[in-house]
Amino acid sequence: MIALRPPSEVMRLERLGCFHQTRLSFMRQLTRRMASEAWRFARPVWEIGTDGVGHAVYTATGPKRTYSLVAFAHDLPDEKRTDRVIAEAWDATFTLFDGVPDAADIARLARNVPLQEAGRVDARSLTLSRANRSTRAWEMVVGALAAGRQPDAARLAEIGYLMRTTAVYGSGKFGAADRESYADRPELAAPFQAEMLTVYLIRAFVRDLAEHAARTRNPTAPRLHDALATALGIGNSTGLGMAPFLVNHPGLIHNWIAARETAIARIRALPEAAPEARALFLDLLDRARADLARWTTVHPRQARRVTQLRRDLAWLSRQPGLLAGPAPWDALCRLAARLSPEASELIHSLILEPYPEIVDPLATGMACAEDGAEPLDAGMPVGRLRTLLREIYGPALDLDWDAPETCARLWYVSAEKQEPRLGERATEPLDAWEQPLAPARDAARLWSVIDGQPDDGPVAHLLLDAPEHRAAIRRAQLIARAPYGEIRDNTLAAAMQPIDMLRAKLSFFGATRFDPRSDRWLRICMFAGAPTPEALTTEMADLWVYPPAA
């Protein structure tokens, strides 16, 4: 038995900000399932004019149900294109429809989906999304095809996608179906499957739309070569709006991270590695190294990390007798732990690849049905609560939470944009609007209240006099059961980098090529390398995330 890495090690922001996708990632769960169940894909509707405006429907049919991406193409003027989640017009807008829409459904969706937040969908919509072109990549592809040739593969790979989404809303947003209304369907039981399916179908639509635009310019324009289309993903811009999710869904986040850590511990515990397992790992390590060439970022902190990652992986692959000794995966992880967190976390993700039979069953535990509804244990003795707080929050309980350096930042939501933002407490008068996103501070406040209280009284009596500590008590009780659900860092610290929180979540989606654009937002790529719907087979369904080393 190998112990799981403790939350005090894993749940630090610096490490979370170095997480990589794994076999458990939600995109890969989706493509594996669709391939193994032989899902069928079709495009029953393509009503897009020579002006690039209109709508299309893409269907994905599994063993029991059909889901339809309803896509609206708008051909946005250049000056209206923005990465921000806040915008009023997009190149294309989408909803994932539960079933197959009829003409009346399409007419209703056409009045609402293009408006996004200003429109309204109903429970037959599972997601709501939109995307904008990468102007450069779009012209590169459409221009080349219209000229009768293929675009330059290397230059296209530098960008990596033709369109990027600025939001993929699910779970009840803007009237859509709540996740719990469909979470009992096997194909949507894992987290974010409806959202991932949306993006996968958007990718197919975007290729078709680019080819359509080329044919409009030149009716004999060729299709984009399959190899180029496969290499392209869908980009995504993600900002601060995603950061509170990690704090607000501790039970769910615990299940994600516990699944990965459990998988890592089980592989490390293997006494030996079969030659095929070693060969697959070394092949994927080579492919991951080659793929680093496609990981471009101008963000200084991330650029340094990628450079160091290259060096670390080069060093690692030079080590003699890698995986040759006993307990080879554990030995490798011990070696990797001496490298940068980027390299260490990549290795911890990679060792899972040769072992689908050990790793993949853990995916079933990654959802969290009771997310947020966990009951408070009112009978818990105060002494037990005290022990829990010390175990979970440790030194954070002893910080001076009124000191400017401890609570330098604050999270708030602006009236103008209704999106989470991060402010400087000392210079911006925003305290009245602070969001509850600092569990360690709240725990420290609770700690000071229970100081001197008798150990054997139930927390129910404590709450009679101090009801404002209800959330902190509930959280400590939950984290005791879900220890990977709490970030073991100060989310108000001056040096805190929100992109670390965003990356942790995006890595579980299966995102790659993290490209921070500031400390608060980043671009990523989704489904780059994934087989197109018509090419999705069980052989191709899984390791697409590592392109051939060439």
Partner 1 sequence: MTELSLNEAAALARKATRGAGYDWGLATEAARAVRWLAMRGQPALDALDALLASETAAPRLEGDRLWAEGPLCALRAGAVAGDLAALPGLAGLRLERVRVPLLVLPFAAGTGRPMRVSGHGVAHVAPEALHLTGDWRGTQDLRLAPCDDAPAPTPPIFRADVSPDALTRLEALAQRTYAPATDASRRLGAGE
Contacts to partner 1 by CB under 8 A: 84, 122-123, 171-181, 239-240, 372-373, 375-379, 412-419, 421-424, 427-428, 430, 432-433, 435-436, 458-460, 463-464, 467-472, 474, 498, 517-521
Kindly tell me which of 226 and 424 has the beta carbon lying closer to partner 1. 424
The rounded Cα 408 to chain-centroid distance in angstroms is: 27
Kindly tell me which of 85 and 480 has the beta carbon lying closer to partner 1. 85
CA–CA separation, 146 and 144 (whole Å): 5
CA–CA separation, 481 and 383 (whole Å): 17
| Backbone torsions φ then ψ of 533, nearest 5 degrees | -50, -40
Helix (H) or strand (E) holding 170, with range, is strand 161-170
For the bound state, the minimum distance from the C-beta of residue 87 to partner 1, rounded and expressed in Å, comes to 13
Kindly tell me which of 54 and 241 has the beta carbon lying closer to partner 1. 241
Kindly tell me which of 355 and 521 has the beta carbon lying closer to partner 1. 521
Show the tokens assigned to 417.
Answer: 């944009």
Helix (H) or strand (E) holding 27, with range, is helix 26-36
Kindly tell me which of 77 and 375 has the beta carbon lying closer to partner 1. 375
Residue tagged 């087989």 (tokens): 531
> How many CB atoms are located within 10 Å of the residue 159 CB?
19
For the bound state, the minimum distance from the C-beta of residue 450 to partner 1, rounded and expressed in Å, comes to 16
| Contacts (Cβ under 8 Å, ≥6 apart) of 30 | 190, 193, 196, 197, 200
For the bound state, the minimum distance from the C-beta of residue 532 to partner 1, rounded and expressed in Å, comes to 33
Q: Which amino acid is at 492?
A: L
For the bound state, the minimum distance from the C-beta of residue 537 to partner 1, rounded and expressed in Å, comes to 36
For the bound state, the minimum distance from the C-beta of residue 320 to partner 1, rounded and expressed in Å, comes to 45
For the bound state, the minimum distance from the C-beta of residue 432 to partner 1, rounded and expressed in Å, comes to 8
Kindly tell me which of 39 and 514 has the beta carbon lying closer to partner 1. 514
3-state secondary structure of 423: strand
For the bound state, the minimum distance from the C-beta of residue 377 to partner 1, rounded and expressed in Å, comes to 8
Kindly tell me which of 226 and 370 has the beta carbon lying closer to partner 1. 370
Show the tokens assigned to 271.
Answer: 């006494």
Show the tokens assigned to 137.
Answer: 């990549």
| Contacts (Cβ under 8 Å, ≥6 apart) of 474 | 374, 376
CA–CA separation, 29 and 51 (whole Å): 37
Kindly tell me which of 174 and 544 has the beta carbon lying closer to partner 1. 174
Kindly tell me which of 41 and 433 has the beta carbon lying closer to partner 1. 433
For the bound state, the minimum distance from the C-beta of residue 469 to partner 1, rounded and expressed in Å, comes to 7
Kindly tell me which of 124 and 130 has the beta carbon lying closer to partner 1. 124
CA–CA separation, 504 and 525 (whole Å): 14
Show the tokens assigned to 121.
Answer: 């969908």
DSSP state of 176: P
For the bound state, the minimum distance from the C-beta of residue 165 to partner 1, rounded and expressed in Å, comes to 17
For the bound state, the minimum distance from the C-beta of residue 401 to partner 1, rounded and expressed in Å, comes to 16
Closest by CA to 347, choosing from 368, 328, 321, is 328
Closest by CA to 198, choosing from 231, 228, 163, 225, is 163
